[in-house]
Amino acid sequence: MILNGLKYFFASIMLIGIGLVIFDTVLLPLYVGYDNEHYVPDLRGVDTKEAIKVLHSYGFHVEKPIPRPFNENEKPDIVLNMSPRQFTKVKEGRTIKLTISGTRNHVKVPNVIGKSQRNATFEINRHRLIVDTIHTEYNTEIQKGYVIDQLPKSGDLRLAGYGVILFVSEGNPPDYFKVPDLINMDQSKAEKLILKKGFQVGNIVKEYRKDWLEGTVMEQSLTPGLRLNYPVRIDIHIAIDKIDTTDEIIDTNNVLDSLERSL
């Protein structure tokens, strides 16, 4: 009698234990949903193909990776960013988005003429290119802030990461043009300012001067602040610290010395 009671007791304990195991490992996870959740691994810096394999092993889906424009400072075809972010706990079947570094292959230059500068930049970046330089000029036909021209032309093949030059409209020209002050300005900045103010870059004369900073504007052909009814060319004189016979150069120091001796 006692033996039978013990048998029933131990059998009941075993059944309860088995029930708890089933409840804990099967029923509870199905009810709560945590059994199919994983932390997103940190795959930044990992090769794209390898990263996709790892994510699939966790039961995640991977959207087509989005490449950034090629950057020579980045290793090509590696993971840069993830969404959801690394170490986020998500369920299996969740789609993971990857942003990867671009590879240096040839792409077609898009046509961005007539687009706003902002949309043109987006379109260029979408084709894995970058905006190099933006030149502005007055234009009576193209609305201000919209692209007049581009270099290279649309349809040309260029390596990913290549810089596209944009020419953007400043709208209608003003009633008068005011000559900018270019003295002591870097040559590149001076040329850009000339164009921005509606003028044209004229002759660039390089002069050997020891008392001026290399590459700065010493003289300009038009007086700063002068108002004109129409745009003209502005010549500038650039200081250099050594003589190069291939350039048009005036050795101002020797000229001044000769004048002093003649006096």
How does pLDDT run across 87-98, given as a tens digit for each residue?
999 999 999 999
Within 8 A by CB and 6+ apart from 105, the residues are 159, 160
The whole-angstrom separation of Cα 80 and Cα 65 is 10
Domain boundary among 103, 132, 153: 103
Residue 100: is its pLDDT beyond 60? yes
Q: Give me the mean pLDDT over the 57-83 stretch.
A: 89
> Are residues 201 and 148 part of one domain?
no
> Are residues 213 and 136 part of one domain?
no
CATH code of the domain in which 111 resides: 3.30.10.20
The whole-angstrom separation of Cα 124 and Cα 130 is 6
> Are residues 111 and 99 part of one domain?
no
> Are residues 43 and 14 part of one domain?
no
Count of domains observed in the chain: 4
Task: Check if the beta carbon of residue 125 is closer than 8 Å to that of residue 65.
Answer: no
> Are residues 97 and 148 part of one domain?
no
End-to-end alpha carbon distance in the chain: 140
Kindly indicate the confidence band of residue 262, based on its pLDDT and cuts at 50, 70 and 90.
very low
Kindly indicate the confidence band of residue 25, based on its pLDDT and cuts at 50, 70 and 90.
low
Output the CA torsion 154→157→159→162 (10° steps). -20
> Are residues 258 and 181 part of one domain?
yes
pTM attached to this predicted model: 0.43
Domain boundary among 103, 122, 142: 103
> Are residues 40 and 23 part of one domain?
no
> Are residues 149 and 198 part of one domain?
no
> Are residues 47 and 112 part of one domain?
no
> Are residues 205 and 191 part of one domain?
yes
Domain boundary among 52, 80, 103: 103
> Are residues 41 and 30 part of one domain?
no
- Residue 21: give the domain boundaries: 1-35
Question: Which residues on neighbouring strands pair with residue 95, listed in sequence order?
Answer: 61
> Are residues 149 and 78 part of one domain?
no
